[in-house]
Amino acid sequence: MQSKPALYDLPLVERLRIVSLSEAARLAGVSEDHLRRHFSEKFIKLGPRRIGMRQGDALMIPAAE
């Protein structure tokens, strides 16, 4: 498994970028279901059926063991 990129090594623009839920789960090293259950307050509603998350928030989530 790849290690997470260092959060503060990324430019601010990249940390604020909104990524899809599947990409956020991949970055965090957890499942989409885990994100939905434990981190739904970080979600950003992009459309009627589309949900995203800031890349910086996804990188700050500790990986499930």
pTM of full prediction above 0.85: no
- Whether 19 maps to a domain, the answer reads yes
28: containing domain: 12-60
Domains of the chain: total: 1
Q: Please write the tens of the pLDDT for every residue from 5-59.
A: 667 788 889 899 999 999 999 999 999 999 999 999 999 999 999 999 999 999 9
Is residue 3, in this structure, part of any structural domain at all?
A: no
Instruction: Establish if 48 belongs to a structural domain.
Output: yes
Q: Tell whether the model's pLDDT for residue 65 goes beyond 60.
A: no
Task: Print burial letters for 31-56: b (CB count within 10 Å at least 16), e (below 16).
Answer: eeeebeeebeebbeeeeeeebbbbbb
49 occurs within a structural domain = yes
